Amino acid sequence: MHSLLLLLSLAASSSELSERCALSVYAVKPDGTLAAEATIKPDNVASVKSGGIDVSGMHLWFVKLNTDGALVNSRFTKASVGTRMAIFCGDREVSRALIAGQSTDEFMFSVSPDEP
């Protein structure tokens, strides 16, 4: 099992993310547009939990995927290292993250506490 630390630019504060968020992930094309369909869909997500604050003051969020989500994520992240993905909570984009390496059933991302 691999964890993937995602460093990202944010569009929402960590206080807006919740454990009941309908989280989805889209591939980001080189021109900055999103893929037409989500790679990770809400039914692939087992949980989204707050993980506290790291040493730089960023809020950490942990995503746990179900078996189907882990398979999709493993293939997606392996093929997409070095590119970005967009994380959505419902229909609101909450981050753009750099895919630093392959992950399977878990990944985490950080959220700036200074974002509105």
Q: 53-103, pLDDT tens digit by residue?
A: 888 887 788 899 999 999 999 999 999 999 999 988 888 888 888 999 999
Per-residue b or e along 37-76, where b marks 16 or more CB atoms closer than 10 Å to that residue's CB = ebbbeeebbeebeeeeeeeeebbbbebebeeebbebbbeb
Q: What is the CATH number of the domain that holds 25?
A: 3.30.1360.200
Total domains present in the chain: 1
* 52: containing domain: 5-111
Averaged pLDDT, 110-114: 69
pTM value? 0.79
Is 116 contained in some domain?
A: no
The tokens for 37 are: 């369909």
pLDDT 10s digits, 13-44: 444 455 567 999 999 999 999 999 999 999 99
- 83 token code pair: 């590119």
Q: Report if residue 12 sits inside a domain.
A: yes
